[in-house]
Every structure is written in structure tokens, then in C-alpha cells.
Structure 1
Amino acid sequence: MSNPIRYANVPSQPDYSGLQVAPNPVESSPEVVSGEEKIIYSYEALKHDDTLYSPKKELPLAPDHPPATTPTTAPTTKDKKRWPRKYYIIGAIAVVIVILSATLGVSQLLPGRLLTSDGGFVRYAVYNAPRNGSLAYSMSTGSGAPDDSKWEKAMSLKPQYPAANGTPIAISQLRQYAGDVTYQLEVFYLNKTNRINGENHNRAKGWGHDGINEKGFTALPESDLSAYWPYLVYQSREVSLQMVIWTGKFDSSDLSIRPARGSQLGLVPTTRNYTKMATHGRIGLFYQDEASKLIAFENSLKTKIPEGDKDANVTDVVWNSTFPDIRLPNTGHFTVFSVASDSNKTADTVDTLVLYGDDSQKIQQVWRNGTENTWETSTPDAFQDIDEWSKIACVTPPMWTNAEEQMRLAFASDLTRCFFQGSGRLMEVQFDGAAWKAPKEVPLT
């Protein structure tokens, strides 16, 4: 089947308090060494009266074993010192809402959270087991404070096709109804022949192979992946960007854009309305061009905007012509996320924030104030102690629409977090909608 919504027609299922797991435990996973790993952080959350609940701070700790591969990216420091457990964080929204995604060692780690109907939650972490092309995941469940729940032992998840070592991972979430509330997680990765593959998770049925596996989309080996449902963007073997969109089936369009080879990629909504985002072109694409310039481009598919969408032309001008001239180091890193500008339920304005490392490894910030339709720049203090080789990962809330309800892009909440490495420790910092709070260490227990 090409339909990724594999379980939309199953009978009504009772709510599950946890995720179903694969039977085989993961016996070992690599030590994390700077330059050998990536982290992408994202999340899933269910709306209850416009309230988003936080996955808080915990990430699972994987057991050690010797590194499986030679690092593909050398550390930026002259001293290639090994840290016993160091995390190299990259911001991908890769995971859309999802999503929290991340990578351990040469593997990709995706921590996230779902709320159950009884107010409980399920947190999960998925990563690439580099020695055999399999994926692995851990989960924790609870109904109180997430800090009170514990991560379970990692379990194996064998994809239909083996994952490439160090593959990028992008995650999306979609909402279904199958008699009762059904969420589906879409996990995209590159296999060993650089084809885009996926595994999906449905609480009622567990893990399944995704319909995108039948499409044969092939990426550049160095390609990044970024997703925000129903979109997925990647770099083709010809180096141009390809946008995959789900419209009842997966279709791919050549955007006729040539970014720098191996550029990081980012996708974020430019509206709070799912229908406008999915059908009116209201999706923001970020990439580094061949001149090292950071590009922000709304409506890269050149979708015809309905006359009734009066805000589209305004945002299009702002996004595509007034973005500051920012030059990144060669294949420089950046991360991007969006939140609603206003907690007003009817407002449609969106704030978008970009964090990037400049030539001196200092973290800079550029953001679009949705209510003012302007881009501004600053140097946030929250990231001043970031390790020079570290990247940053941030999260964007989910959106969906169906016959029963519409989930609009949320205002900043305690879920609005970014993660980075500081002094060899994994740190998190919250954005409250106006300013950054003091960073805190993430306890890895």
C-alpha cells in the first residue's frame, strides 16, 4: 500500500497507556563522541483546551560500546578529546511534530511524547542502531509529572530496509480517527542505498512499514531531511531540493533550488491553520545556498494562493524579500522553529525563530515578529556557554484538521524548548514567547 495511514479503517480500539514494542532488546549502542553524532528534538502533543503538556527534561541513556564507524565530521576543536558521553545536537525539525529527534553516536535519537485520553502520557526515543541497519526505541509512560517516569530498556525496531549509518531522521505526526483517537508517527530516514524510507507507529497496531518505501525517492548521500506533515524535503542526487507532499499518496516535486551540497534543511509552518499550510503554500523552507547565504523561502512549491487568503501575499513579501543577509560557515548549522504570535484563538500570525552559528561559533538569532511582519536579529545570552562543536535542536508544535476538530499551531509553552551541548553536558532552554529562560542541564538517568 502506498497510503501511509495504514490503520485508518481498523475498528475502535481501547486507549493504550503505552506503546507496543518490538520483541528483541538492543544489546548495545555506541559511545557518543563529538563529531560522530547528531541530535534532533521534537514532540507530539494532544490539545486539551489549547493546553500543551511538556515532556520535560529526561532523555534515555543508552549503554556503551566502542564506536562502530569513523566519524564523518571532524570536531572543530584542535584537541579531539573523547568525552565519555557527549551529544552532538542538530536542530531539525525533523521531526515535526513531532517531534523531538536526536542522534546518539552515529545514530539518530527521537524523543517525544503523546498524551493518552486519561491524561497520561507516553514518551518515546527512537534511534538508529548503526551496526546492523536497525532502529531502536525506548519509551516511558506515566500520568503525573514526566520526571517521575523512567525510560525503559531500549527495544529493537527492524525497518523494512536497513538504515544507513548516521542517517538523518525526520519525523512527522498526523492525527487520525479510527473509532477513537488515533495518532500516527512518521519516521523518515535514508537506507543504505540513500533511498528515503519510513516506519510509522500507530498506538493501536504498533510499528509498520511506511508507504513511502514503495516510491523510490533517492537522496544525495549527504542530504539532510526535514519534515512537517504533510511535507518532507530532501536534496536529490542532482543536488536540487525535492519536496514530497502527501495528498492521498506521496508525490515529489523538484523545487528547482540548488542549495549548498549537504546543506541543513528546515520546514516550519507560516500559518496556524493546517488547511492553509497544506494547500495554500503556507510552509517556510530554510536552507544554505551555494554562496553560503541562509535562505528563508515561503511557498517554494509556488502554490496558487486563493484570493480569500488575504494574509498570504503579505507574508510572502516579508519572507522572500526582507530576510536579513546572513552568511553561514561552510555547511554551517542552523535550526528553526515556529510558534503562534498570540494566544488569541482566532489570530493567525506566527513567530518564526532561527538560531545559527556564525564564523566565531557564537549563536545568533533572527526572528520574524508575526504581528509586525518584520525580521529582527540579536545575540541571545542563553547559548553563550554552548560547546563550539555543538549544534542546537528546537521544537515546533503540531497542527492537524479533521471532521472532529482542528488543532491550530500553539503559542509558546513549557514545551517550547531548544537543546544544546554545554561543557560536555546536554542542556535545555525554554522560550516563553518573548525571551529565553536560563538553561538547565538535562539529567540523563
Structure 2
Amino acid sequence: MDPPYDHNPREQPGLEVVPSVHGHGQSLPEVRADEYANSSKEAVITNSSHLVHDALLTSQHPPGQPELASPRQRQQNRRLWIYIGSAVAVLVILGATLGGVYGSRAASAASGSGTTTTSNATSSGSNTTTTGPQPIRPGSSLSVAGWRKPDNNLQTYLFYQDPQNMLKYSRYDTSSCSAGNDSSCWELPQDIMLADAGTPLAASTILWGQQYNAQIEVFYSAIKKLQGFNLSRLNQTNPETNADSVVDKGYPTGPDTRLAAYWPWTVYQGSTGELFHVRNKLLADTLQPVSDWDNGNLGIPAMNGSRLAVVPTSTNFTRIATTGGYAVFYQNSDARLAVSIEGLSSSDLHLTPPWSINIPVITLPRQAPLAGFSVARTGDANQRVDTYILYLDAEAPDVNMLFTNSSSGQPQWQTARPAALRGVDPDIDLACLTMPASPAADGESALPIGDELETARCYFQKGGVLTEVKWSNGDWVVGGAVRMS
């Protein structure tokens, strides 16, 4: 039970009060000209599916004339290759001779002792070694965003990096599913652009305007600055890839930063270890996205390289977009899981916090992967959410779950060890889908986050395969492997 507290409708027991350090102007929408009506939020870079961001390339070599060898050099090279070839031939003959001798001796010894030799190539299913090009980089950052289309089909975009450092996405659409075959819902992956190895990713969905005009906003870090791009025209076979205006801001990120986002908020770690957030300066009257941003220091010291999870604290986008509209889960300097809701003491707070941040004591492996999502709390008059957080176990290759149980009225934090989340790869990331919300705008009514837990999906690597798990009948079930080729 939470301790007694002074009666204040804007605070709940156990909530961490983090002062707002950027004043009123940071959190409130800004009035700007309606310069993005009926158009993409950002300018399109190119229609190519192979985009290369110059700032991301680890090395650049301008083209030049090939360097030719002189005749004297060519003659010396030929002699050198003759010598090398002769030496190799001698070694091959010698190796074959010795191999035959020792091979026959080994066979004779095995026969005489009655033992049978076996190959070490055989391995168990949990330690299968794959060969050839792999479709995803081991330990690749993962992020997912999605929406429910006007035809009511679910569409999601899963972002990751392949071993050649290409950022990619795989699109899932329930309109493409074959009965009983979840893998058939996935389209072939699409290339986006080259990036530094291990680039952190964070994706979220923008809904605004006619038929909610969905766009996917993706943030990443490069050259120690926050970067971003945008996918629009999602109804097309190949959505357009747009440069994002956040690039122009040059917000500095820490060298080991991770990212997490739920529109219009993005959280990252600065060079001092403190957490920062970025918020789109939505138009005040319509909450329409614009090409300008706010930035603020949350004053939260986190473990260097802490993974992050951002979840909305309300189902109502008008409240999500203001102070206290999101919670960030992170790993503190004691390696424990922690959570904060920014600005709870602010006079700009316009929501009832959904739950206490007095979570159970959970010690995590260093830089342990985190992911989370929120769903509407059924029948809640204050439009609060229930929240689910996935994290890597400290002692076993399993993913555990921290969640709020509000069945008794007052939400309580509980933990679980779902069977479908066990036996994951040692170097993984986690990603979970929170459905988007939208304000009433441009002829469309407001769209809140729903209470359909069955839309929940999370992703991680298991056995070298990118795996999806879904919520079904009160538990997680494996939805199948993400189609990668």
C-alpha cells in the first residue's frame, strides 16, 4: 500500500516529482503558420530505396585514377608470384602426405580401442550456427511503429540494421495474411540508408488529418547528434522517405546514447549521462506537426548507455502532447530499473498520472534491453493507461515483464516470466508496439489509444531469427519469425 499523502488531485502516492527546467514555453504547443496542410511534414530526399546519409558513413574515398605499376615492378611481381606458387605447391604435397600418415594411424587407433569419433559440427537447436549472409546484425537496435488503417487492417513497420550496416524496415500488414500463417503478413524488407554500426533507433507514428494521414517518424544518432527521417504515403508499395527537420537542430547526444520515442516525444542521453527530451512544436489549435522542435534536460542521471523505453501516460493525445504526457523507463547508476514522469509538479499538468513510480526493485544486467507499451485502462474515466515493460533477466537468457494490474481498481505493479519470452539470444534488443493516438483535426474525430491488448506486439532475436510475440488469451505467444528474405 502506498503511504499517506496530502490531498492533491494532480499527484498520486509514490510519484516522482521532477521539476520542469525549461519553463512553460517548452511544453506547450506553439502557434505557427499552417504551412504543412495537405502535404508531407518534411521535404522528400529522394525516391530511391537506397539512401545514404553522408554524415553516417564511417569512411569516404573520392574517386581517382588507378595507380599503375611500372614495367620493372610488373616483372618483379611475376617473379614473386612464381616463388609463392612453388612454395605453396610444396606445402600442399607435404600436407597431403602427412595427413595420410596421421589419418591412417588415427583410424587404426580408433578401431583398436573400439571407440567411435564424432564431429563437433553437430549442435543443439538452441546453439544452431548459421552460415552465409545474415539478414540482421547481431545486437541490432530494434524499433517498431504502426497504425490501424482506414480499412481496419493493422500495419506495422519494424526497423533494424543488417550486418552490412544498412538500416532497413520490414512491413507487416494483416490484409496480406494467409490463414494460420503469421509470416505471410510480412513483406520483403526495404533498404533505407547506410549507418554507423550499432546505430540506435526509435520510431513512432504520427496521426493527423484526413484518414489520419499516418506517417512514421524515425530517430537515430550519428556523429553524436540526433538525426531523423520520416516515412509518408504509407498506402503505397514503397512509402516515401523524407529528411526530418530535427537534423537541422544539431541536438548533441552522448557517445553511447540509446533512444526511445512516442509522438511527439523522444528521449535520449546526453554526454554527461543525463536524459534529455525533444518535442515537436505542434500547432496550438490543431496539434498539427510542424518542422520545429523543443529540447529540454530532464535532470535524470542514468547509467551510461542505459536502454530506454517511452510510453504514453494517457489515452488522449491532447494530454499526451503536454507536460506529463509520457513516462520514461531507464537503468539508474545502481543498475536498477527506474521510471520517471517529467513535470508532475508543474502547473501545466493536465492529466491524472496512471500509476505509482514506486516499482519493485529489479536489478538489470548492464545496459540491459528495455521496451514497453501502454493500453487504455478499460472503463477509466480519467483516460489512464495500463503499462507493460519487458526487460532482460539478470541471471538467465530470458525476458521478464513488469506490468500494472488494475483489475482491483487501484493499479498495482506485478512481475511475470512468460514462457514465450525465454531462451533469447545473449546480444539482443527489444521493441514493443504502442498504438498511436490522434487529436480531432481536419474533419476527423479524436482517436484515443484503445484497450485491445491483442494489438500488443514485441520483437527480439532468438536463435539468430527476428521473432515476434503477440498477446493472446491472457499470455504471450510466439507469432512467428519476421520475414527477412
TM over 0.5: yes
**1:195 matched to 2:195:** no
Q: Structure 2: how far apart are the matches of 1:128 and 1:243?
A: 24
Gaps of 5+ in 2: 1-29, 52-125, 283-291
Aligned position for 1:83: 130
Match of residue 435, structure 1, among 448, 469, 474: 474
Q: TM-score by structure 1 length? A: 0.68
Cα distance between partner residues in 1 of 2:173 and 2:399: 35
Question: In the alignment, is the contact (CA less than 8 A) between 2:145 and 2:434 conserved in 1?
Answer: no
Residue in structure 2 matched with residue 165 of structure 1 by the alignment: 197
| Structure 2 CA distance for partners of 1:351 and 1:239, relative to 1, 3 Å | same
Residue 239 (structure 1) shift: 1.3
Q: AA paired with 1:170?
A: A
* Higher radius of gyration, 1 or 2: 2
**Aligned: 1:239 with 2:273:** yes
Q: Is the 8 A contact 1:425 1:441 kept in 2?
A: no
Deviations 1:323-342 (A, max 9, x none): 11222122222222211221
Contact 1:352 / 1:367 at 8 angstroms: preserved in 2? yes
Kept in 2: contact 1:268–1:283 (CA 8 A): yes
1:345, distance to aligned residue in structure 2 (A): 8.3
Show the counterpart of 1:357: 392
Structure 1 position 377 matched with structure 2 position 430: no
Task: Give the Å deviation of 1:125.
Answer: 5.0
The one-letter code matched in structure 2 to 1:439 is V
- In structure 2, C-alpha distance between the alignment counterparts of 1:216 and 1:396, rounded to whole Å: 28
Query: Any idea what the Cα deviations from partners look like across 1:291-350, whole Å, max 9, x if unmatched?
Result: 1121111235754355x74x33xx4xx423x211222122222222211221x4856231
- Deviation of residue 233 (structure 1)? 0.5
**Identical-pair percentage:** 26
Mapping 1:20-419, distance limit 5 Å: 22-23=47-48, 82-84=129-131, 104-105=137-138, 108=141, 113=146, 116-118=149-151, 124-128=157-161, 135-137=167-169, 139=171, 143-145=175-177, 148=184, 151-152=187-188, 154-155=190-191, 157-158=192-193, 163-177=195-209, 181-191=212-222, 193-203=223-233, 206-248=240-282, 249-299=292-342, 303-306=346-349, 309=351, 311-312=352-353, 315=354, 318-320=355-357, 322-342=358-378, 344=379, 348-361=383-396, 362-370=398-406, 371-403=409-441, 404-419=444-459
Work out the CA distance in 1 between the residues paired with 2:127 and 2:252: 34
Amino acid at match of 1:375: W
Query: In 2, Cα distance between the equivalents of 1:364 and 1:130?
Result: 28
TM-score in terms of structure 2 length:
0.63
1:387-440 Cα shifts (integer Å, max 9, x gaps): 4444433221111213222121121343212233444444333224x7214334
Contact 1:164 1:190 (8 Å CA) reproduced: no
Distance 1:150 1:435, change over 3 A: closer
Does the Cα contact within 8 Å between 1:4 and 1:211 map onto a contact in 2? no
Q: Distance in 2 between matches of 1:116 and 1:224?
A: 30
> What is the SS of the residue equivalent to 2:340?
strand
Q: How many residues align?
A: 357
Pick one of 9, 33, 43 that aligns with 2:37.
9
Contact 1:163-1:189 within 8 A present in 2 as well: no
Measured after TM superposition, the shift of residue 175 of structure 1 is 1.6
Report if the CA contact (8 A) 2:375-2:453 is conserved.
Answer: no
Q: Which has the higher helix share?
A: 2
